[in-house]
Structure 1
């Protein structure tokens, strides 16, 4: 058997040639066969005839290219290095495991004790913090990336869905209901929320001057305005909107009492939103507060003595 094939005519949409049949005769390629309905259009894109350019890599072309790219990134690296070195950081460990720590007295106190256990740590800043200051809390050996922990939430409930509010997802088990009432917010992530209270003071002539800590603007904009919403209903009374639900087991108060400001209460509370964005590693930091610079004449935090007051809860 022999097959004749014309690439040019095939490209023009007119197949030609024939198939020889033993004993004489031939079947023409353009005969009355079935019409091809799935044949791609005769375009450069669909027939893979687009123009292409493939560079030939040689030492004479590759080495100069790498050299030029390296020269471009050298000043960028220097700028990043200098900026990184200009960042000041001061870390305070208030775990209280050391017997000499002022917070050692709170080590064995129950989390729901009334009033909460408080401790004060005094420290000195050797250098001023000139620009805005970001205040973080950090945890170690806390696996927010555990597969069961990460899934233990109901995003529909957190987005303000009224049906999910009263009927949370089964992914929240065993923190889905408590005393036959749905938990809001449900799940292990919300149940383990960090809720220690931190206050910062500057010591000036034995007088404590409170430092203003800003609690808004610490969450991602998309989280605050898209992913997290309070339930909808008649009026803005969160107590009524969350009626029929109960607080997480380890929370001292319900979600609608997290803050006195309406735009930072309930599911849109920024401390809560920051905690709900799980960390990828077991040792992590989360933004707690902002300290803004008031004017260009004075640093945000002057060098000197300070005290950090921690209320465990």
Structure 2
């Protein structure tokens, strides 16, 4: 994983730390890194955030499911749960609420270098939202923290609107303040070469998402799977912990049984 928060003076993204989130053009930085080992299978690219409490009660409730389902009346009259991101300049916001308003909008370009020094673009992604039936929401306005209205943000016709994959991923709130969410998938093109070969790479970042104000951190994570599935250390740690507790209690109960189990607990009843 690569941390690109930029709080360290030596970080290439430190210059973007105090730049306004809505600056045009956005501040950009590049981080070079090296993969020590090749990634043989499909590579999953995640963005990670720390100290971001998506599990706060008011934050979790700040959404309108009827609006997300495409209900026309909810588009023009969002739920009061979306306050204070329900309306802006006397126009209803679509999508409304704090969750949608804080959607991660980082833009990342993953580059690899060939042996001859040429650069190949591996993954270019921008997380934005656009409603599929944009004619229905011409009477609405964009979320406060979005740079563009919803009907101007995505050029892909099959990945638009409230069914946008990046938007769906973001709207599934995380249970813990440190989390990661799926960003992009780099698929393996053939069985003769690994998806990502060991070597030099660079990460070009458009610093759109500020986290310094709440002492948060941003990171990019590359992960892959083997024939046994993905890596999940939590289950292994949980099984070992529970098993150790059960073993310890079993030993304690065995000692108690040998020490006190042979005693005659019956009492003679006098005639």
TM-score by length of 2: 0.73
Partner residue of 2:120?
209
C-alpha distance in 2, partners of 1:294/1:262?
24
What is the match of residue 97 of structure 1?
A: 7
- Rounded to whole Å, the distance in 2 between the matches of 1:110 and 1:270 is 27
Residues 107 and 124, structure 2, Cα contact 8 Å, conserved in 1: no
| Residue equivalent to 2:243 | none
Provide the residue aligned with 2:195 in structure 1. 300
* 8 Å CA contact retained: 2:63, 2:97: yes
- Contact kept in structure 2, 1:116 and 1:311, CA below 8 Å: yes
Spell out, residue by residue over 1:184-205, the C-alpha distance to the aligned partner (whole angstroms, 9 max, x if none). Answer: 0000000000001011000123
**Per-residue deviation, residues 263-296 of structure 1 (Å, max 9, x unmatched):** 2112111111111110000000000000000000
Task: Give yes or no for contact 1:215–1:290 (8 Å, CA) kept in 2.
Answer: no
Q: Please give the alpha-carbon distance, in whole angstroms, between the structure 2 residues aligned to 1:295 and 1:270.
A: 26
Q: Which residue number in structure 2 is paired with residue 257 of structure 1?
A: 152
| Unpaired stretches in structure 1, ≥5 consecutive residues | 1-90, 217-228, 231-235
Q: Is the 8 A contact 2:7 2:17 kept in 1?
A: yes
Q: Which residue of 2 aligns with 1:148?
A: 58
Q: Whose relative contact order is higher, 1 or 2, with alpha carbons under 8 Å and at least 6 apart?
A: 2
In the alignment, what sits opposite 1:279?
174
- The corresponding residue for 1:165 is 75
Number of residue pairs aligned between Structure 1 and Structure 2 = 205
Q: Could you tell me how far apart the structure 1 residues matched to 2:185 and 2:152 are?
A: 22
Partner residue, 1:291: 186
**Residue 106 (structure 2) pairs with residue 106 (structure 1):** no
Secondary structure class of the residue paired with 1:290: strand
Runs in 1 of length 4+ with deviation above 3 angstroms? Answer: 212-216
Residue 267 of structure 1 aligns with which residue?
A: 162
Contact 2:109/2:125 (<8 A) preserved: no
Match of 1:180 among 90, 105, 118: 90
Q: Does the aligned pair in 1 maintain the 2:60–2:173 contact within 8 Å?
A: yes
Indicate the structure with greater strand content.
Answer: 2
- Following superposition of structure 1 onto structure 2, how do residues 1-313 of structure 1 map, counting pairs within 5 Å? 91-204=1-114, 205-212=116-123, 238-313=133-208
Give the structure-1-normalised TM-score: 0.63
Structure 2: distance between partners of 1:106 and 1:212: 22
Moved more, 260-269 or 102-111: 260-269
Whether the 8 Å CA contact 2:108–2:125 is kept in 1: the answer is no
SS at match of 2:204: strand
- Per-residue Cα deviation, 1:76-134 (whole angstroms, up to 9, x for no partner): xxxxxxxxxxxxxxx00000000000000000000000001110000011110000000
Counterpart contact for 2:108–2:126, Cα < 8 Å? no
By how many angstroms is 1:257 displaced? 2.3
Task: Give the RMSD, CA atoms, in angstroms.
Answer: 1.7
Tell me which residue corresponds to 1:69.
Answer: none
The change in CA–CA distance for 1:214 and 1:249 in structure 2 (over 3 A counts) is closer
Q: CA deviation at 1:206?
A: 2.5
